[in-house]
Amino acid sequence: MLTELQGKALLKLARSSIMSCLSGRQPDMPEGDFLNEESGVFVTLENNGDLRGCIGFPEPVMPLGKAVVLAAQAAAFEDPRFPPLSEGEEFDVEISVLTKPELVSVPKEKLLSTIKVGKDGLIVRSISGSGLLLPQVATEQGWSSEEFMSHTCLKACIGRDAWKRADVKVFKFQCQIFQEK
């Protein structure tokens, strides 16, 4: 678990990394051993409460500090759903630091009862696609565990009931969330 102070440092780092791209300078890297620990992370940008970009790394494949810098820059300038962020554009930053995703290995008929809406995030993977939704998405949308699972499958482009198939693997994770607002 990260402290509130560490969370604020991550938020400052995310904003600094975005602003550095706009101004052509290097981001201000805070200090702390926590930045060197490998962790999954997502950076979400919003403008007046509307999604403006969301990119991240579900697996702990690099140090947290580097992951925040890369995810923030990608959310601002490379999310294919939105045009790149422009200079002077207002935005708020949210950072989700993920636990390592774990395979949910229960029979498919018991799967939904293991999902805790608002606490768990989901990843579905099949040979044809992969989709991820952060825990806060289900809460914001008011979804049940079945709706959450279905929407995660739809994000993977594998059909809303694909989670019932034997070839589809479901992973869950939790997040520690830090917000600017």
**pLDDT tens figures, 87-117:** 889 999 999 999 999 999 999 899 999 999 9
Looking at the chain, the domain(s) classified CATH 3.30.700.20 span: 4-98
Looking at the chain, the domain(s) classified CATH 3.30.1490.150 span: 102-174
Read out DSSP for the chain?
A: ---HHHHHHHHHHHHHHHHHHHHTS-------GGGGSB-EEEEEEEETTEEEEEEEESS--SBHHHHHHHHHHHHHHT-TTSPPP-TT---EEEEEEEPPPEE--S-GGGTGGG--TTT-EEEEEETTEEEEE-HHHHHHHT--HHHHHHHHHHHTTS-TTGGGSTT-EEEEE-EEEEE--
Residue 28 scores a pLDDT above 80: no
Q: Which CATH architecture best describes the domain 4-98? A: 2-Layer Sandwich (3.30)
- Mean of all residue pLDDT scores within the chain: 94
Q: Please report the sign of the dihedral spanned by the C-alpha atoms of residue 65, residue 21, residue 55, residue 129.
A: negative
pTM: 0.92
CA distance 162 to 4: 38
Q: Check residue 26 and give its pLDDT.
A: 78
More confident position, 16 or 25: 16
Q: pLDDT for 117-169, tens place per residue? A: 999 999 999 999 999 999 999 999 999 999 999 999 999 999 999 999 999 99
Class of domain 102-174: alpha beta
Residue 77 scores a pLDDT above 90: yes
Q: Are 124 and 131 in contact (CB under 8 A)?
A: yes
The arithmetic mean of pLDDT across residues 75-80, rounded, is 97
